[in-house]
């Protein structure tokens, strides 16, 4: 699409058959007068005092203050198939302030073979409180940025809003003990009592303990003869951690609001005398409590062959209980009232992690270091509320297509729908298949999973999920006479992706802009029966693009070269003249 037309304006897609994107030059030019000013100040101060030998008190207070002001314009558009028919203006400002206050008491002491490291602490913080105000409107008397302001907007289009936010308060007490005996046996224990204003007074606080232990086998007498072992340690741990991040601070309260459409009544008996009342807009849940993640792990760390080989291995399991989700509620609980987050169900994650590093010299001038990492992950929704197997309130929909199902026994965000087993090749193919709405040659043929001869919602099945079975990477560095070359590769294997873009490129019936799609040139036709893209027609049916199906699901596995770096470190004898200890130049991509 050309940038400008012959009259000096912007070229666009208002004509039929040219899809509906925006002219990127026009978009950028329309933002040339937008401005934003932001002033941000942050920092902290602390004090330490040794109460006695090995006992130290530390107090720290920090904060962040942010002040912002902005204004912007949305230009009048005429060139697009989806135009903005008015010149808009907005202006606003606000501020917020966040702070944290921490006090700790630490004690370190060694008695012969016993070593102790103890910390007791308290912390309070607020994530940021402040206020803001914003105004917007359309069609000021002038479009000159030197004259446009809120006062110049027509009263009929002017809208002013303001808000305040208190931030989220946290208060924590914590303690930690590290103990080592003879540098062989290591033990650590932690306990936290965390409180959050996201929860009501009934369950505001949660207590979360954790402990770990390790045994350094390489320090034992029975391994002293194994000179190839530099260090070998077996370790394991168990712990709990609380989470409150996905809870709205208003979740604990029942809120009320009113609009003419949802909460008004004609008290005076005429349509013009409707009085706005109040209705419940949110149902509060004062009994919500912390999500709790219980993590277990066991593994070992080893260094071998005089530092030339490092191996780290972990098996881990994470059970998250009291999951916070918004569960559908009956309409009798309050029409249009937002449902609260409640603690339901349990989710399981478990996997293996491995890291292997080898390093050394291939010659006096050639060095190398190679690190390989690999991880497996198994995710599963273990349980939900009693009698609830599926959560539908967190499944996003697009143009009537709802591809994600969170269901007991399946991974989070599993793709769910009809499985496409091919395209109908003829009317005889249609007649011999299970009864399917909208079936016709060139359209999708769905699998009849229950064998009842009719394609119904019961034939939907799991189509994949976005969680990879394996992720890993390779990082290697080669050095030669001051030069070094390093690269990092990353891979993800076993995950699927939902390619929603096919809705725009493969179905003329849903989006006429698909007419210019290169993919439709290979669509099914009586003379092109080996195609995978369905037939081009104007009918949007169950057998084309109106339901979720496996046509959108693709293999998401990949191997990517993430980074490459080439560097050179100048020799010491050259740098000494300039009194420089080290100087390295490099290029990275």
Among 96, 100, 101, 99, smallest CA distance to 165 is for 96
What local confidence, expressed as pLDDT, does residue 505 receive? 87
pLDDT, tens only, 414-444? 999 999 999 999 999 999 999 999 999 999 9
What local confidence, expressed as pLDDT, does residue 124 receive? 98
Task: Write the DSSP assignment of 119-178 as a string of letters.
Answer: EEEEEEEEEEEEEEEEEEEE--S---TTT--GGGS-TTT-EEEEEEE---EEEEEEEEEE
What local confidence, expressed as pLDDT, does residue 333 receive? 66
Spatial neighbors of 547 by CB under 8 A, at least 6 apart, are 401, 417, 418
Among 150, 239, 232, smallest CA distance to 191 is for 239
What local confidence, expressed as pLDDT, does residue 537 receive? 87
Query: For 373-508, where are the alpha helices, taking DSSP H only?
Result: 427-432, 502-505
- Three-class SS of residue 249? helix
According to DSSP, the residues that pair with 399 across neighbouring strands are none
Query: What is d(CA 364, CA 361) in angstroms, rounded to the nearest whole number?
Result: 7
The sign of the torsion formed by the CA atoms of 538, 539, 543, 546 equals positive
What local confidence, expressed as pLDDT, does residue 16 receive? 66
pLDDT, tens only, 290-305? 999 999 999 999 999 9
Q: Are 99 and 66 in contact (CB under 8 A)?
A: no
Those residues of the chain that have pLDDT short of 70 are 1-8, 16-19, 268-273, 331-335, 392-395, 513, 515
Greatest extent of the chain over all pairs of C-alpha atoms, in Å = 99
What local confidence, expressed as pLDDT, does residue 270 receive? 61
Query: What is d(CA 461, CA 553) in angstroms, rounded to the nearest whole number?
Result: 13
- Three-class SS of residue 222? helix
């Amino acid at each position: 699409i050309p940038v400008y037309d012959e009259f000096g304006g912007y070229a666009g897609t208002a004509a039929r058959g040219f899809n509906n994107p925006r002219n990127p030059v026009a978009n950028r030019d329309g933002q040339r007068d937008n401005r934003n000013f932001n002033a941000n100040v942050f920092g902290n101060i602390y004090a330490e005092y040794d109460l006695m030998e090995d006992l130290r008190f530390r107090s720290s207070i920090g904060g962040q203050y942010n002040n912002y002001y902005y204004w912007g314009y949305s230009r009048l558009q005429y060139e697009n198939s989806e135009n903005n028919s008015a010149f808009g203006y907005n202006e606003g400002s606000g501020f917020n302030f966040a702070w944290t206050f921490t006090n700790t008491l630490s004690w370190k002491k060694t008695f012969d073979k016993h070593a102790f490291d103890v910390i007791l602490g308290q912390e309070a913080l607020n994530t940021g409180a402040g206020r803001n105000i914003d105004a917007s409107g359309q069609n000021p008397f002038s479009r000159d940025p030197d004259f446009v302001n809120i006062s110049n907007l027509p009263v009929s289009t002017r809208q002013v809003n303001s808000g305040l936010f208190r931030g989220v308060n946290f208060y924590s007490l914590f303690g930690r003990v590290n103990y080592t005996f003879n540098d062989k046996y290591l033990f650590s224990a932690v306990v936290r009592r965390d409180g959050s204003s996201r929860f009501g007074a009934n369950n505001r606080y949660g207590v979360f303990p954790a402990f770990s232990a390790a045994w350094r086998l390489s320090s034992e007498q029975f391994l002293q003869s194994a000179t190839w072992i530099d260090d070998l340690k077996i370790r394991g741990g168990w712990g709990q951690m609380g989470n409150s991040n996905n809870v709205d601070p208003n979740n604990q309260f029942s809120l009320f609001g009113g609009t003419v459409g949802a909460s008004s009544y004609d008290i005076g008996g005429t349509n013009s005398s409707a009085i706005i009342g109040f209705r419940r807009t949110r149902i509060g849940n004062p009994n919500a409590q912390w999500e709790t993640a219980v993590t277990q792990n066991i593994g070992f760390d080893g260094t071998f062959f005089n530092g030339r080989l490092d191996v780290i291995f972990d098996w881990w399991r994470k059970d998250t209980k009291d999951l916070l989700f918004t569960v559908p509620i009956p309409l009798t609980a309050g029409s249009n009232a937002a449902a609260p987050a409640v603690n339901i169900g349990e989710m399981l994650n478990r996997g293996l992690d491995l890291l292997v590093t080898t390093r050394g010299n291939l010659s006096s001038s050639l060095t190398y270091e190679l690190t390989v990492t690999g991880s497996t992950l198994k995710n599963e929704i273990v349980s939900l509320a009693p009698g609830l197997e599926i959560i539908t309130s967190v499944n996003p929909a697009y143009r009537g297509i709802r591809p994600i199902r969170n269901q007991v026994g399946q991974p989070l965000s599993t793709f769910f729908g009809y499985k496409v087993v091919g395209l109908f090749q003829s009317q005889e193919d249609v007649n011999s298949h299970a009864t399917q709405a909208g079936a016709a040659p060139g359209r999708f043929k769905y699998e009849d999973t229950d064998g009842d001869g009719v394609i119904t919602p019961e034939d939907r099945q799991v189509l994949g999920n976005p969680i990879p079975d394996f992720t890993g990477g390779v990082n290697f560095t080669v050095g030669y006479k001051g030069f070094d070359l390093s690269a990092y590769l990353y891979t993800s294997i076993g995950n699927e992706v939902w390619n929603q873009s096919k809705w725009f490129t493969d179905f003329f019936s849903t989006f006429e802009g698909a007419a210019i799609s290169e993919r439709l040139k290979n669509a099914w036709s009586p003379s092109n029966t080996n195609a995978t893209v369905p037939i081009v027609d104007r009918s949007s049916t169950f057998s084309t693009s109106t339901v979720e199906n496996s046509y959108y699901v693709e293999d998401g596995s990949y191997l990517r070269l993430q980074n490459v770096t080439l560097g050179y470190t100048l020799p010491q004898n050259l740098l000494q003249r300039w009194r420089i200890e080290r100087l390295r130049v490099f290029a990275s991509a």
